[in-house]
Structure 1
Amino acid sequence: MTDTSFQDMTDFEDADRGFVTALKPGVVKDASGRVVWDSDAFAHLMSDPAPATVNPSLWRQGALCARQGLYEVTDGVYQIRGLDLSNMTLVEGERGVVVVDPLVSAETAAAGLGLYRRHRGERPVTAVIYTHPHIDHFGGVMGVIGEGDEVPIVAPEHFMRHAVSENVYAGTAMIRRGMYFSAFGTPVGPEGQIGMGLGMATSSGSVGLIPPTLEITRTGQEEVLDGVRFVFQMTPGTEAPAEMNFFLPERRALCMAENACHTLHNLLTLRGAQVRDARVWSRYINEAIELFGDSADVVYASHHWPVWGRERILTFLSEQRDLYAYLHDQALRMMNTGYTGIEIAEAIELPPALAQAWHARGYYGSVSHDVKAVYQRYMGWFDGNPAHLWQHPPQAQGERYVRALGGAEKALEAAREFAADGDLRFAAELASHIVFAAPEHRGARDLLADVLTRLGHGAECSTWRNFFLQGAHELRNPITHTAIALASSMTSALSVTQAFDSLAIRVNGPRAWAERLSILWRITDLAETYRMELSNGALIHHPDPKDTRADLTLTLTKPQLLGLLGGRGLDGIEHEGDVGVLTRLLGLLDEPDPDFAIVTP
């Protein structure tokens, strides 16, 4: 891309179009006064030139994402942008407003809704839509409605299954990796955080979930919410396992959820998730063109800024479509000629038209890790080389590399030479081996931190930059405490099976090998019965058991069940049998560690 192309102002004009007002100051606090969001910290991106410590293309993206406030998309459709990682869309109806994707935290969602109401009136929230089950699209729901509010909550089929899978089952690991994904512990500024490519950062307020009351199950399904007609398109397996776009025919406005944004997205996010399907992603974008392309005057998404005008919309969507199809098909072509995922990532090039399209650049995803994800989806973790079938884990590898190189000092000298020669990638790999072999070696930690910093400052992909810089930060400082925790309202949204699953994944298998116990759970408010059995270290449960014999029978409501699993005890719960069984079971559970080490052993 030529230097002059950085002067293209079209995106900046689109990002500013429809601006109504900003939140001033751009700071959101929780009830205790703790700052959970600070958009003002990123305001310098919009006025300062790109420094040497930031890739100029990524700085440009940051300047676009740093804009915050209330924006009019089209008549009766508004967005809150720049007050969290995602956008919150507000569709005006006959009696009030339909809220789409209420941000990460209740505090930022409430602040955004308040900003809207100050300029559009005290309209009640008449419906909520979750486009998909990522936390930045539902976590702030308690900031726009309460649990007892009788409004429809609309989501794609299987929303709850995947919301729980990502945010509860693997939630601790994903949120910890998410600290690197967002560089949460590094200071905001040219040396550190300058955004996430998809938005600036994630808020750190109260996260909740109110389960959907209306499922969208098929493309073409129409629902009238507060007098507004919504036409839905199901897009499972794209940016999320359960996702949907929707079209507003009377507003001629197409919402692409997170399926077409101003960046190459992730096929496998670095924070961890299920691998996404680039093939169907491309096909669903093409289906959106077929279904709505001739009728839409504006296309907008749950991140970034809209695109207006028929010709520009079709160009934008078709290039996004081609981007995912190309990565998928070329990765398969090269895979079938013997290339591994790492080799494909080094060799693949985008067509010039896509490489030069700003919205196709890798600010959030990257060509490199996306084609590795395609390889993983089809071939798994193993590249077929038997030498890679049974490798040592990182600490054992590090010890052997250091020994083979003649000790930590000689290995460190070699790593410094690679760094001095500009081979930062191998310098980082070698220095990491030393750190894992000798975690307290200050010279190795300092060199690795320096190399990771240099890699971060050169990265166009924001999430790569953030991983590099957060790793450097944690080599020099204590591990950053994970600030985001799932609120009790997230737990209350779980089904009984999901609550029991959450218990089962905490059982310490080796300590439970010799234990055998059984519990019968009678959930009175749901009229459900479950039998739970622990054997061979596995905690199994199933509904409507034929055999109702058990060491302990508990009769209780679902709220009492959740309270019991949360440590509140048996007060008020009817029980029969050996209550010691419950103590034995709870004694076998491990507590998740939200602050586990990543860049060190």
Structure 2
Amino acid sequence: MTYEVEPAVHPELAAHTAHFAKRVYTVAGHVHVAVGWSSANAAVIEGPDGLVVVDTGSGADLAAVIEAELRPQLRDPKAPVRAVVVTHHHPDHVNGLSHWAATPDVDVYAHRTFLAALTDQSGPTLHIMGLRSVYSLGNLLGPSDTEGVNDAVGPHAGVGTPSFVMPTVLVGDALETEVAGVRLRLFHNPGETDDAISVYLPDSDVLLCGDTIQGPTLPNIHTLRGCRYRDPMQWVRSIDALRAHGAAHLIPSHGQPVSGADRVAEVLAVERDCIQYIHDQTVRRMNEGLTPDELAETIELPEHLASYAPYAREYYGTVKHTVRQIFFGYLGWFGGDPVDLDPLPRAEHARRTVALMGGRERVLGAATEAYEAGEYQWAAELATHLTRIDREDTDARAVKAAAFRRLGYAQLNVNWRNWYLTSADELEDRIQPILPLINFAAVFAPRDLVARIPAAWLIELYTTRLRAEEALEVDTVLGWRVLGGVHGEEEVALHIHRGVARFLREIPADAAVVLELPRETVESLHLGRTDLRGALAGGDARTIRGGAADAADLLDLFDPLQPRRPTELTLR
């Protein structure tokens, strides 16, 4: 069974693309903002003694292109870069660091929690977050599905070549300084991330706010790729801190600058009111007993906010997902109905439901009828019962994929659109999502960053990869001796004790097996460029205690980076 669905773009989303046309904007005569070459802007503050860069673009190669566009706009096109400010740790803001901070005399400013946030992003959930980001950003979609579409906060641009340089100046609550002859006030301004800082230029009344104003869209309080909880009221307080400046110019790290004190004040007021309205009304209705599903059906922005384009439009964030995030942030996952305490496994629930509905053919027929009637969500839900019973049910996959395409092409929200369309490609076997995972994970963990992380921390992550069911009778120690790298020689161990891998900060005398390997091999293991068995067989690792066969047996207790079965997010 085949379905023909012509590619389309929601007209308002298509029109939104013009917001990210490639252009260098000059603000207050000396701040130059490159919009459209990267998913995040890079801004250059021109001072008497050189340049201060705020955010870097999403890769070293893209940063080079951005600099070539910016230089002709400067009074002194050869002015040296004196400092780089990174407003927070996300890749599109920091992955061009090695280009702008190419020499040791360039200071890099970041919040004092920046490194912790960046390392956490590169840690236990690195690989699933990388995969989910592929879905959210539409990186696997073909040209027919990306032409004329933006990423809601920027152009649909490439991710670039990731890079990293260590910060040299860490900012606490606030820092008043002068760089390149320009007075700067850097202050902690958490919103999208807890490590966010904003920059105020008192002599020209310019605010560079990073992603505290996320760009020309309703803020993304919850991101579908996954992240730690984003506190809405902390975000509101940070916007209020921006409002207190009464600035004449506002430069977000996404989208066009905003000029005029009245216009800046209006944009800031609308953004903070949208967030607080959703938060307050969600909490109010939570206290009336509404569940996450009921909240999503009930809470809507009032017209005066919802219609404020583009800053309150749901190109990136959505009310339906924000209310769920707020519920989970306050109360956790449980909605209050004990039926959810220990539900039937999904496949078993699907089998029983399909049987009650009269069997596969009846359900498939109903899904097809729903699709033909334009009831695409219902068609997809019906087909999902069948794909949970049999992942290879091609007829069910076909109708579900077609329904997803119809839903995706109609979406104003680009994250929803990308998930629908990428999942449709997955259902139709057009993509194998696991293949780009390794390369995309490197976007969140540039090799330059991984080189700075202690090997002990990278090895501790193996505790989350132990196949416990195969290690319930195991009680032994695997030692690691790591040579080289900026941290010098490191020795740690994993005590595999009946299904738990306990991390030890030294190798005990009774360790059954001790591996010796260079720092570069540990990094390659973390980034998925090799695996432990392969490193041992290829000579990139060796045993200095215990035999190679014993080492291989222990290594086989840990999951490889790539899952043992295809990672199909849509078919679960």
TM-score above 0.5, yes or no: yes
2:53 partner SS: strand
2:268 counterpart (317, 334, 343)? 317
Residue 499 of structure 1: how far off its partner (Å): 1.8
User: Please, which moves more after superposition, 86-95 or 187-196?
Assistant: 187-196
1:360 partner SS: coil
**Corresponding letter in the other structure for 2:137:** S
Residue 71 of structure 1: how far off its partner (Å): 2.5
Matching of residue 535 in structure 1 with residue 535 in structure 2: no
Matching of residue 473 in structure 1 with residue 425 in structure 2: yes
1:589 counterpart (554, 558, 565)? 558
The CA deviation string for residues 30-60 of structure 1, in whole angstroms up to 9 with x for no partner, is: xxxxxxxxxxxxxxxxxxxxx9933222222
Match of 2:477 in 1: 517
Match of 1:22 in 2: none
CA spacing shift, 1:222–1:201, aligned 2, 3 Å = same
1:136 counterpart (79, 92, 99)? 92
Match of 1:448 in 2: 400
Alpha-carbon contact 2:478-2:515 (below 8 Å) kept: no
1:256 partner SS: strand
**Corresponding letter in the other structure for 2:463:** A
Alpha-carbon contact 1:530-1:541 (below 8 Å) kept: no
2:210 partner SS: coil
Structure 2 residue ranges without an equivalent (≥5)? 1-5
Match of 1:233 in 2: 187
2:216 counterpart (253, 256, 262)? 262
**Corresponding letter in the other structure for 1:535:** I
**Corresponding letter in the other structure for 2:461:** S
CA spacing shift, 1:400–1:575, aligned 2, 3 Å = closer
After superposition, where does 1:41-56 map in structure 2 within 5 Å?
Answer: 53-56=8-11
Alpha-carbon contact 1:554-1:573 (below 8 Å) kept: yes
Q: Distance in 1 between matches of 2:99 and 2:131?
A: 24
Match of 2:3 in 1: none
**Corresponding letter in the other structure for 2:500:** A
Q: Distance in 1 between matches of 2:542 and 2:415?
A: 51
**Corresponding letter in the other structure for 2:217:** T
Matching of residue 508 in structure 1 with residue 467 in structure 2: yes
Match of 1:40 in 2: none
Q: Distance in 2 between matches of 1:226 and 1:584?
A: 58
Residue 129 of structure 1: how far off its partner (Å): 1.8
Match of 1:183 in 2: 138
Residue 182 of structure 1: how far off its partner (Å): 1.7
Q: Distance in 1 between matches of 2:70 and 2:218?
A: 30
Alpha-carbon contact 1:186-1:192 (below 8 Å) kept: no
Q: Distance in 1 between matches of 2:121 and 2:410?
A: 31
Match of 1:216 in 2: 171
Residue 77 of structure 1: how far off its partner (Å): 1.3
Q: Distance in 1 between matches of 2:274 and 2:386?
A: 39
Q: Distance in 1 between matches of 2:269 and 2:262?
A: 11
**Corresponding letter in the other structure for 2:349:** Q
Q: Distance in 1 between matches of 2:126 and 2:15?
A: 32
1:122 partner SS: coil
1:361 counterpart (309, 313, 329)? 313
Residue 497 of structure 1: how far off its partner (Å): 4.2
CA spacing shift, 1:96–1:542, aligned 2, 3 Å = farther
2:280 counterpart (318, 321, 329)? 329
CA spacing shift, 1:140–1:510, aligned 2, 3 Å = farther
CA spacing shift, 1:154–1:413, aligned 2, 3 Å = same
1:208 partner SS: coil
Alpha-carbon contact 2:92-2:159 (below 8 Å) kept: no
CA spacing shift, 1:318–1:410, aligned 2, 3 Å = same
**Corresponding letter in the other structure for 1:539:** A
Residue 364 of structure 1: how far off its partner (Å): 0.4
Q: Distance in 1 between matches of 2:220 and 2:57?
A: 19
Residue 111 of structure 1: how far off its partner (Å): 1.4
Task: Report the count of equivalent residues.
Answer: 543
Residue 552 of structure 1: how far off its partner (Å): 6.3
Match of 2:377 in 1: 425
CA spacing shift, 1:522–1:448, aligned 2, 3 Å = closer
2:217 partner SS: coil
Match of 2:112 in 1: 157
The CA deviation string for residues 524-556 of structure 1, in whole angstroms up to 9 with x for no partner, is: 86478654232334333355x697775567899
Matching of residue 599 in structure 1 with residue 560 in structure 2: no
Alpha-carbon contact 2:480-2:507 (below 8 Å) kept: no
CA spacing shift, 1:396–1:158, aligned 2, 3 Å = farther
**Corresponding letter in the other structure for 2:369:** E
The CA deviation string for residues 190-236 of structure 1, in whole angstroms up to 9 with x for no partner, is: 78771221112352432222232221111x32233333322122133
Residue 429 of structure 1: how far off its partner (Å): 1.2
Q: Distance in 2 between matches of 1:469 and 1:572?
A: 41
Match of 1:248 in 2: 201
Q: Distance in 2 between matches of 1:547 and 1:150?
A: 43
Match of 2:458 in 1: 499
Normalised TM-score (structure 2): 0.86
CA spacing shift, 1:527–1:475, aligned 2, 3 Å = closer
CA spacing shift, 1:306–1:575, aligned 2, 3 Å = same
Residue 187 of structure 1: how far off its partner (Å): 2.6
The CA deviation string for residues 427-462 of structure 1, in whole angstroms up to 9 with x for no partner, is: 221112222223333322221122111111222111
1:484 partner SS: helix
Residue 126 of structure 1: how far off its partner (Å): 2.3
1:221 partner SS: strand
**Corresponding letter in the other structure for 2:160:** G
Q: Distance in 2 between matches of 1:591 and 1:127?
A: 41
Matching of residue 59 in structure 1 with residue 14 in structure 2: yes
Q: Distance in 2 between matches of 1:350 and 1:285?
A: 19
Alpha-carbon contact 1:85-1:303 (below 8 Å) kept: yes
Normalised TM-score (structure 1): 0.82
Match of 1:342 in 2: 293
Structure 1 residue ranges without an equivalent (≥5)? 1-50
**Corresponding letter in the other structure for 2:398:** D
2:479 partner SS: strand
Q: Distance in 2 between matches of 1:191 and 1:409?
A: 35
Q: Distance in 1 between matches of 2:462 and 2:507?
A: 23
The CA deviation string for residues 364-403 of structure 1, in whole angstroms up to 9 with x for no partner, is: 0101111111111112122111112222444443333323
Q: Distance in 1 between matches of 2:369 and 2:147?
A: 26
CA spacing shift, 1:190–1:64, aligned 2, 3 Å = farther
After superposition, where does 1:21-36 map in structure 2 within 5 Å?
Answer: none
Alpha-carbon contact 1:108-1:143 (below 8 Å) kept: no
Matching of residue 172 in structure 1 with residue 124 in structure 2: no
1:541 partner SS: strand
Matching of residue 297 in structure 1 with residue 248 in structure 2: yes
Match of 1:306 in 2: 257
2:87 partner SS: coil
Residue 557 of structure 1: how far off its partner (Å): 8.1
The CA deviation string for residues 261-313 of structure 1, in whole angstroms up to 9 with x for no partner, is: 211121210111112111111111112212x12xx210011101111011111
**Corresponding letter in the other structure for 1:248:** L
Alpha-carbon contact 1:188-1:194 (below 8 Å) kept: no
Alpha-carbon contact 1:522-1:553 (below 8 Å) kept: no
Q: Distance in 2 between matches of 1:193 and 1:166?
A: 31
CA spacing shift, 1:247–1:497, aligned 2, 3 Å = farther
User: Please, which moves more after superposition, 278-287 or 95-104?
Assistant: 95-104
- Give me the CA root mean square deviation: 3.0
Q: Distance in 2 between matches of 1:539 and 1:548?
A: 18
